[in-house]
Chain A
């Protein structure tokens, strides 16, 4: 079964820590995305990548960075975690428009708590 795997379901980190959230997909998808999900706000795009070593800012990139050294792996980095980054983080992958596929495939999410 094809999937997107996020390395942790739950994380608790301290304010100021550098945090790495890992995402791996086995579908050979070009595009990968990081969203955060907050009640009443839906999903907001943090960063996305359309190719290895390529990245683009989404709607809320402040306080985050990303890394995509290999096609299957897309990492989200919180440079210095803050309490307002407590959230559910969702990774997704997709094929580019016009190349088939059914939208995104999502991982199960990582619930991050910053204390």
Chain B
């Protein structure tokens, strides 16, 4: 079945550092790929998405490129802020009713 694997966390960075959170997936067909973010005490929000190979999703300075050859969708940001502290989830959408399969989540903490 479908699966998503994220890098182990937690990740702790200083403000303005570069961020990469690795995500790889296993799926049949051509899934859509997503990054969701969960701020403390809140539900998940869509951060960015890509629906086909080589697409790049971007939002709020974050980027991720759909790499079918490596089955990856790594999240990157060039300069993180304290306000980026949150839990980040990689997910894929298979063809069945649009169900999402999530990775285990990566906790990011950014210090001033």
Tell me if A104 and B104 are in contact (CB < 8 A): no
Once the chains bind, are B98 and A90 in contact (CB under 8 Å)?
A: no
Q: Are B103 and A103 in contact, CB atoms less than 8 angstroms apart?
A: no
B20 at the A interface (CB under 8 A): no
Q: Known contacts A104-B44, A104-B46: does B97 contact A42 (CB below 8 Å)?
A: no
Count chain B residues whose beta carbon lies closer than 8 angstroms to a beta carbon of A: 25
- Provide the B16-39 mask, 1 if CB < 8 A to any CB of A, else 0: 000000000000000010101000
Q: Which of B26-75 contact A (CB under 8 A)?
A: 32, 34, 36, 41-46, 49
- Chain B residue nearest to A99 in the complex (CB): B98
Q: Are B97 and A107 in contact (CB under 8 A)?
A: no
Q: Is the CB of B46 within 8 A of A103?
A: yes
Contact (Cβ within 8 A) A48 B99: yes
B104 touches A94 (CB 8 A): no
Q: Could you tell me the distance in whole angstroms from the C-beta of B7 to the nearest C-beta in chain A?
A: 13
Interface residues on chain A, size class: 20 to 34
Which of B45, B49, B95, B105 has its CB near the most chain A CB atoms (within 10 A)? Answer: B105
Which B residues are closer than 8 A to A by beta carbons? 4, 6, 32, 34, 36, 41-46, 49, 89, 91, 93, 95, 97-105
Closest 7 CB pairs of A and B: A106-B43, A42-B104, A43-B102, A42-B102, A106-B44, A97-B98, A108-B43
A-B contact pairs, 30 of them (CB 8 A): A4-B43, A31-B98, A33-B100, A35-B102, A42-B4, A42-B89, A42-B105, A43-B89, A43-B105, A44-B102, A45-B99, A45-B100, A48-B97, A58-B99, A90-B43, A92-B44, A92-B100, A94-B98, A95-B98, A96-B98, A97-B32, A97-B93, A97-B97, A103-B34, A103-B46, A103-B93, A104-B46, A104-B100, A108-B41, A109-B43
Query: What residues make up the interface of A, taking CB atoms closer than 8 Å to B?
Result: 4, 31, 33, 35, 40-45, 48, 50, 56, 58, 90, 92, 94-97, 102-104, 106-109
Further 10 A-B residue pairs, CB within 8 A, beyond A43-B105, A90-B43: A42-B4, A42-B103, A43-B44, A50-B97, A58-B99, A90-B44, A97-B95, A103-B36, A103-B49, A106-B43
